[in-house]
Structure formats: structure tokens, C-alpha cells
Amino acid sequence: MVDLEKLRQTAKDIVSRDDVKHIIGWKQGTYGFRVEPHFAAEPDEADALTFSPLCTNNLATYLTLAEKLPVPRGEEPDTRKVALMVKGCDSRAVVQLLVEQGLTREGVYVVGCPCSGVVDVKKVEKMFPDILEPAQAYWKNDQIVFQLPDGEKEVSREEVLPQKCLLCRYPNPVIYDELLWDEVKAWGSEDYEDVKELEAKSPEERWDFWKDKFSSCLRCYSCRNVCPMCYCEDCVLDRLNPTWTFRSVNLSENTSYHLARAFHLAGRCIECGECERVCPVDIPLMKLNRKLYKEVVERFDYEPGIDPEATPLQASYRPDDEEDFIL
């Protein structure tokens, strides 16, 4: 059960330490069902921290966004730890960043938040339209209770959870320095039914499906910018010499963009679903990512974001690999 008093007191204790720069968590947004990231560097700032079914953001993205080097001339780099609140899927991003040496274990203090699933805000706003005042929510058994201006409303968890939460096998953080409350029961199973549905279609039918989706892409780059695993300083999709993907917003270039991202995430995607959550035109990007996820698990027996001591998939080599799938 979520204990906000314990969360805030723990955060105050953490930011009071000399070796911690700040803690990154969530706080109540300014309207509706929105919750926003919160950086607390002082103990009194930790009073704004919260955790609820509305805490959808994967905050691991900020580990590579907010701590950029080099520092301005005349300043010394701040080598203190960054504390980070994580759900199960968020913690997998931390693990994968450690595997890829995108950060060091000594540089991050992980605060684990066992999670019973976060809501799909689009579903909630459709269910409860025109809610402008800040609303709150909490878990109650298999229900999610929304605290609205006209009272509390209980909704079945399955009605408002995104697909990624319905399939989640890791609701508890896989890595942490401190766990805030008891672990929750995992409910997801990996049968890849969503992927198999597409695999059962003919190549022409699959192309028709993706052609329809990619044609609507605005190339806003929200999917890339929110992804905790897209942290390359020199992104191949931005290069002009040579140019791998043109800036034109059309089916051909949109397809090239999304396929390049998907293959770059093969063996690295940790199924947090942030790309799909922020897409303004609702492209089901996780269907594509999960297809490659399934191939990596089945062909290489490799699951990203689980073991911080693992070797990156594409940097590993096994002499006993049967290689019977290589043409």
C-alpha cells in the first residue's frame, strides 16, 4: 500500500545527504489527471512528491538528459548521486543504462516504488471529460479510485490501464537501493498475443496496417525524445552528411524513421511504452517494438533491463550459438 508520508520522509532524508544532488520524482500537475516530474533538491521540496496511478512518466529519461557534460568554463562537475523514483518498468531502464555504461551504479540512488499499474490518461479523460481541477487517484484492490470534484469514482483497473500495464511482468523494481513499500503481485504473462495477431497476417496485410499508421506520423520526434534508451548525442536520424533519413514527412521517410528506431532498440527496449503514450496520432509503436523484443527473447534468450551485470545483446558472442536462423 502506498505510504506518502514514508515516501516524503525518505526523500527528505535522501536529499539531506551530502553525496546526493537531488531526487527526481512525481508531483501533482496543474490540471486534470496530469502528474509532472519534480526535482527536489531541498528537504522542504520533497513535500510535493507523490505516487499514484497517475504517475505515468518514466523518469529514467532524466538521468541522461539533466546531467550533461561538459560544465560551463570555470565550474567543476557535480559528481554527487542523483536519486530517482522508479516503477518496475522504469527500473529496467536504469538497469539497461548500467549495462550500456550510460551511467554508473555509484552515480544513481534508486528509490523503488512497487506499482499496480498506471492509467492511460487518454482513456481516463474520455471517461471523465472536462475535468480541469487537479484530480487524484489511488489503488484499491483491483480497482482504481478517482477523486473527482463531484466525489470518488471506482473503476475496474482493466478499463483504464494501458496495454503495457496489462502485460506487465515486472511491476516491482528489479533494482533499488531503497524499497518504499511491500512488493505487489505480478499479473502479466508473456504470450505475445498482440504480436502473433500481426504475424498471422499476410505480408500485404501487415504492410497495409503499418502504411496506414506511418502515413499519419507527424515526425514530431516525441517518441524518440521521451525514450530513456534514445540518449545518443549523435543520432543517426539527425545526420545530414551522410543523410540516412530525410526531413520530408511522407510515408517513405516516416517508415524509414520508425524502422531505424525499432532496430536501434532491438535488445534494448524495456517495454515502458513511453513512445506510444506520447504519440499525438496514436501510432501503436509498441506492436513494432514488441515484435523485435519477441525475436530477441526467442532467438537469443536475452531479455533487456533485468540483469545489471549482463552484456549488451549486440556486444555478446556465444561459441555454442546454433545460428540455424542465419540465412
Residue pLDDT, tens place only, 160-215? 999 999 999 999 999 999 999 999 988 877 788 889 999 999 999 999 999 999 99
The structure's pTM equals: 0.90
Q: Is the pLDDT of residue 63 over 70?
A: yes
* β 108-112/81-86 pair status: parallel
Mean pLDDT of 42-65: 94
In this prediction, residue 238 carries a pLDDT of: 83
- Whole-angstrom Cα distance, residue 304 to residue 108? 19
Q: Is the pLDDT of residue 68 over 70?
A: no
Interval 224-280: pLDDT, tens: 999 999 998 888 888 888 888 888 899 999 999 999 999 999 999 999 999 999 999
Q: Is the pLDDT of residue 71 over 80?
A: no
Q: How far is CA 287 from CA 77, 133, 193, in A?
A: 41, 34, 10
Q: Is the pLDDT of residue 69 over 80?
A: no
Contact 249, 217 (CB under 8 A): yes
Strand partners, 28: 35
The values of phi and psi at residue 20, to 5°, are -120, 130
Helices (H), the chain: 4-15, 62-65, 88-99, 121-127, 157-160, 163-166, 193-199, 203-215, 222-226, 251-264, 274-278, 285-300
Mean pLDDT of 147-163: 92
In this prediction, residue 242 carries a pLDDT of: 82
Q: Is the pLDDT of residue 327 over 80?
A: no
Contact 189, 220 (CB under 8 A): no
